[in-house]
Chains A and B, each alone.
Chain A
Amino acid sequence: MKPDKMEESIITSERYIKKIDSVSSDILRNVRINRGFILWMGFLSVALAATLFAYTIQLKEGLIVTGLRDVTSWGIYIANFVFFVATSLVGMLISSVLGLSGAKWIKPIARIAEIIAVAFAAVAGLVIISDMGRPDRLPNVFLFGRVQSPILWDVTVVTTYFFVSLLLWFLPMIPDLAISRSRISDRPKFLIKAYEILSFNWIDHKKQYEILNQAVRVLLILIIPLAFAIHTVTSWLFAVTPRGGWDSSIFGPYFISGAFVSGTSAVIIAMYFFRVNYKLQKYLTEDHFEKIARVLVLVSIIYIYFNINEFLVPGYKLKSIDAVHLKELFSGHYAPLFWSVQLLGLVIPVILLLFRRMRKPFPLLIISGFVLMASWLKRFIIVVPPQAHPFLPVQNVPAEWLVYKPTLIESAVTTASLILVIMIITILSKLFPVLPIQEIAEEETRAEAEQLNSN
């Protein structure tokens, strides 16, 4: 992406310099360690400590403190892991798929999407550890790792995806850090120092932009197969087993399409939060919400399509093992959960979003809340019910083993992971510019210049 003549003239124009001033003052206004930030982080830390106490009980007593037993041996930890990996995929969708296709409107949102990707991918790994019977033996995965096991694939790709996402959050921010370092003189010293180090002597040189754009472009392409890999492999944790409800050849795309739904709704919620709390109405406009709402509709419809395939085809054949599972979902024990997730979290949101009024920020926020919650519960439906009815009957075991009920401790440990995600998002969005200053200024200057030219 060599900057052409016009672009070069934009970056050096006086209008652009002024634009940088106004945009950076709007965005850097929120970059500060104020009382609100300290109180919020303090609250999160206390909550985290309380929930981690629950984990120490689990460490001491064993997984007996969870609702998991020999019948249902994977529960909300694994469901939560799948949800986290799913949600982190949105970084790729927004920055790469939409960005590379030339959608200019995603520019202010891309960094928010990457923050979500980084936060969820980082904590996903910890969530898996909380499910392990012997977390002290984690090094065994590296000492004795067997490449045949999808767990090895998952560990590899999730870690890689996390680092690439981190780079995709950080690299495009270097010009912003250079812009900011001179404008945050009243902030704590360590922050100024950090900005100085992390901006790597950026001097706005043409050559620097060339190198940076090239690097980012390579990463944007690289992360597409990587993101597909992390969630496809996650789906294979289930699909490689012969169990009814998991033994599905479309699990990969089914998971990927579902991931875009949960990730997009998470980005919308974050967008709304930053728009209102950071007073960024000027940059996160109603038009942005309108556009991302359309993305949500698109990915939801794709997901509905995969749902139809996933449930209709086995439902038509009703092979004995699938029949038991589907009956539980459609009209049995899990029917209320299944139908509310499918309707309230998928079908009804799509119908509502067909109306323009529903694509305004606030209604969209509410709808996204439902979609995100349903996305979590959907992972529960994917993970838990297929285990309750294995091929052979479950007999001669304590009655409470037959139906899985998450315990308080399990819920607390899961809450800990959510708190961690929120903490990471808070730090990344409060200590660094949450919107790309340089890109917005450049874009606005260009738009204005074009308008002047056409006049």
Chain B
Amino acid sequence: MSEKKNKKSSEDSKIDEALESSRRDFLKKVGIVGAASVTGAAAVYSGYRYEKSKSTGDTIKVLTEDNRLVEIPKDQVKDYKPGLKVLQTRGREGINGKRWVMVIDLSRCRNARKCVNACQGAHYLRPYEYHINTLVMQESVNTPAYYMPKTCQHCDNPPCVSVCPVDATFKRQDGIVLIDNERCIGCRFCMAACPYSARMFHWQEPLSKEADKGKEYNIELNVPQKKGTISKCLFSADRLREDVLPYCVSACPNGVFYFGDENENAVTNGTTKETVSLSELLEKNGAYRLMAELGTKPRVYYLPPKNRLFKFEKGAETDYKETT
């Protein structure tokens, strides 16, 4: 009995094997045919698209990085979005051949605070968080009070950069002092060292936490801002890369700011868009730098508040309440 059963079962398995192998063969064939037809269809389709694009002749001339003029189909043009690595590398290097410089004409400031607002809008700051602030200054009781926009001075001998333990704040070749919010450990030594109180700290979640989601961090804009790190005036390094004047400079309605390149000896007024000689402007107006005696060598020059265009008004200070 058992022998019989064994025999039968061995026969069964033989049949099974044969069936199985023929099924495998069949599947193989179907697979090959299927794959071939899909490839073929894809080839035909892409050829069709290529022909179509060729027939419309929709091309565009672009200049490559190595200065070659090439022609490519228009529908293949994509907006270039630099990744974090590119942003970080070029952000640390700065713009070759430039030495950015700012001139602030105190005789024209009337505390409109448009510079402050434009800056806070661009960098997503709360109304009392400043990259630029306008201060009421008075040297002594006998001298007149005046308004003074105060940015980071982008010192050539920056105390903040010296003390930073991790190279999070650094000096670029074009003169700008930047801060890398991806690296800052939040020790605030730079705040302690800065004599101009130019730096702010993100004590809480930045204002734009929700809006910033998914955005690539731009070291030249400090956006997205990051909790527990330092932020400060960047001379709008992102705008300079696009050859546009800084946010504060172009927002001023009263022609207070001049901005330009020391190497070209030319600065442009943000309001009038008039370009003048830097050395002449400084010399004619008796320019000075803030607390020059500290040896910080600021890149921001001030023209004294002589022959002021606007009268000083009392009560210029604003009170703010902390918000989340």
Contacts and interface: CB of A to CB of B under 8 A. Distances in A.
A63 B201 contact: yes
Given A61-B204, A62-B204, A392-B135, A141 B192 contact: no
B192 A241 contact: yes
Contacts of B229: 133-134
B166 A399 contact: no
Closest A-B pairs by Cβ, 6 of them: A133-B186, A133-B228, A64-B204, A151-B165, A149-B165, A64-B203
22 contacts: A62-B204, A68-B203, A70-B200, A133-B201, A134-B185, A137-B166, A140-B183, A140-B185, A144-B166, A146-B164, A146-B165, A149-B162, A150-B163, A241-B163, A241-B192, A246-B192, A391-B195, A396-B128, A396-B133, A396-B135, A398-B128, A398-B321
A68 B202 CA distance: 11
A63 B189 contact: no
A238 B188 CA distance: 12
B12 interface: no
A393 B136 contact: yes
A364 to B, nearest CB: 38
B18 interface: no
A395 interface: yes
B291 A243 contact: no
Contacts of A49: none
B165 A145 contact: yes
Contacts of A390: 195, 197
A326 B201 CA distance: 27
Contacts of B16: none
A395 B200 CA distance: 13
B117 to A, nearest CB: 12
Contacts of B189: 149-151, 237
Contact of B165 (A141, A395, A397): A141
Given A132-B228, A146-B164, A151-B163, 12 more contacts: A62-B204, A133-B186, A134-B229, A144-B167, A151-B165, A237-B189, A243-B192, A391-B196, A392-B196, A395-B317, A396-B134, A396-B320
Contacts of B318: 396
B124 to A, nearest CB: 16
A29 B295 CA distance: 64
A74 B192 contact: yes
B191 interface: yes
Interface string A125-164: 0000001111001101101111011111001000000000
B192 A73 contact: yes
Contacts of A131: 187-188
Contacts of A393: 135-137
A95 interface: no
B191 A73 contact: yes
A243 B195 contact: yes
A408 to B, nearest CB: 16
A149 B128 CA distance: 30
Contacts of B191: 70, 73
Given A70-B201, A133-B202, A392-B197, A62 B150 contact: no
Nearest to A393: B135
Interface in B180-239: 183-189, 191-193, 195-197, 199-205, 227-229
Contacts of B199: 70
Contact of A395 (B135, B188, B201): B135
Interface in B134-187: 134-137, 150, 159, 162-168, 183-187
B77 interface: no
Given A150-B163, A398-B321, A144 B128 contact: no
A442 to B, nearest CB: 47
A405 B187 CA distance: 19
Interface in B306-324: 317-322
B294 interface: yes
A400 B290 CA distance: 27
A69 B185 contact: no
A387 B197 CA distance: 10
Given A133-B228, A144-B183, A152 B196 contact: no
A146 B167 contact: yes
A152 B165 contact: yes
A398 B320 contact: yes
* Dominant secondary structure of chain A at its interface with chain B: loop
A80 to B, nearest CB: 15
Interface residues of A, number: 48
Given A133-B229, A141-B185, A144-B167, A242 B202 contact: no
* Dominant secondary structure of chain B at its interface with chain A: loop
A219 interface: no
Contact of A134 (B134, B228, B320): B228
A394 interface: yes
Interface of A: 61-64, 66, 68-71, 73-74, 131-134, 137-138, 140-141, 143-146, 148-152, 155, 237-238, 240-243, 246, 387, 390-400
Nearest to B163: A149
A394 B197 contact: yes
Contacts of B134: 396
Contacts of B188: 73-74, 131, 133
Given A62-B227, A395-B133, A396-B318, A133 B195 contact: no
Nearest to A68: B203
Contacts of A151: 163, 165, 187, 189
A62 B205 contact: yes
Nearest to A390: B197
A151 B160 CA distance: 13
Nearest to A237: B189
A208 B137 CA distance: 72
Nearest to A392: B197
B164 A391 contact: no
B183 A133 contact: no
Contact of B195 (A66, A242, A394): A242
A143 B182 CA distance: 13
Contacts of B193: 240-242
B200 to A, nearest CB: 5
A63 B166 contact: no
B298 to A, nearest CB: 13
A132 B320 contact: no
A397 B320 contact: yes
Given A63-B201, A64-B204, A398-B322, A134 B186 contact: yes
Q: Which of B159, B163, B183, B202 has the most CB of A within 10 A?
A: B163
Contacts of A133: 184-188, 201-202, 227-229
Contacts of B203: 62-64, 66, 68-69
A235 to B, nearest CB: 13
B269 to A, nearest CB: 25
A240 B137 CA distance: 27
Interface in B55-101: none
A70 B200 CA distance: 6
Contacts of A392: 135, 150, 196-197, 290
B59 to A, nearest CB: 46
